[in-house]
Chains A and B, each alone.
Chain A
Amino acid sequence: MVHLLYFAWVREMVGTDSETITLPTELTTVAALLDWLAARSPGHAAALADRSRIRIAVDQAFATAATPLNNPREIAIFPPVTGG
């Protein structure tokens, strides 16, 4: 089981701020996870349509599309940050 978190417009487009799901074992990278998630609902698909606008944190550390997934507990998906 992995806890997925969504922030900012990703949260709004997906339609929820979090969900807990069981990932198929063949999802071994962040890129594969995003492809799989995009098929979950039209909201997921819309939010993830442009991967250049998506940033990821795996277990609270920034990740890239190539980052491997080793039984993560928490994955956050969000737009590029705009604090400061």
Chain B
Amino acid sequence: MIAARLQSEPFDSAIVQTALLAGRTDLGAAVAFIGLVRADEGLVALTLEHYPAMTLAQMQAIAADAAGRWPDTIGTIIHRHGRLLPGDSIVLVVTASPHRAHAFAAAQFLMDWLKTKAPFWKREEWADGTTRWVEAKGIDDAAAERW
């Protein structure tokens, strides 16, 4: 089971990971990935717009796909929306499995697909008052297609 959550509030990755692993003694590996707002020169804020009626369902579909590929792997994915500041966390992927290969692979898969198959759009605010929509990157599409 890989659970998905969509929220504007910050998350505490340690609490999420502890909750995921609670009561399990068969797991040998846990992986946590956090995506952050990077303070590129002059960046003031990053706003995540999304498609409310579709976003969570799409995140759940991506999670279900991962669970099907790595049935021994459990996880939680959290994606934030709204206006975020440099240093803020955007996305959390936590996975755990009996052996590390599946935990690593599932985490990477989840991130690659969240970046390319979940309906979010990033808008940057710059110190000079301008805004700019982030362009999708071919390298992200390539990363998603290798699965």
Contact = CB atoms under 8 A, between A and B. Distances in A.
Indicate, yes or no, whether A interacts with B.
yes
Q: Is chain B's interface secondary structure helix, strand, loop, or mixed overall?
A: mixed
B124 to A, nearest CB: 10
A81 B136 contact: yes
Interface residues of A, number: 16
A82 interface: yes
Q: Contact residue range for chain B?
A: 20 to 34
B54 interface: yes
Given A8-B123, A8-B133, A81 B54 contact: no
A82 B135 CA distance: 7
B91 interface: yes
Interface string B135-147: 1100010000000
B120 interface: yes
A58 to B, nearest CB: 11
A76 B119 CA distance: 10
Contacts of B123: 8
A9 interface: yes
Given A8-B49, A78-B119, A84 B133 contact: no
Interface string A62-84: 10000000000010101111111
Interface in A13-64: 57, 60, 62
Nearest to A74: B53
A8 B121 contact: yes
A4 interface: no
A26 B120 CA distance: 32
Contact of B115 (A7, A74, A76, A83): A83
A80 B135 CA distance: 8
A82 B54 contact: no
B107 to A, nearest CB: 12
A64 to B, nearest CB: 14
Interface of B: 35, 48-51, 53-54, 57, 79, 90-91, 111, 114-123, 133-136, 140
In the A-B complex, the 7 residue pairs with the smallest Cβ-Cβ separation, listed nearest first, are: A83-B120, A84-B115, A80-B136, A8-B121, A60-B54, A82-B134, A84-B114
16 contacts: A7-B49, A7-B51, A8-B123, A8-B133, A60-B57, A78-B119, A81-B115, A82-B121, A82-B122, A82-B133, A82-B134, A83-B79, A83-B91, A83-B118, A83-B119, A84-B116
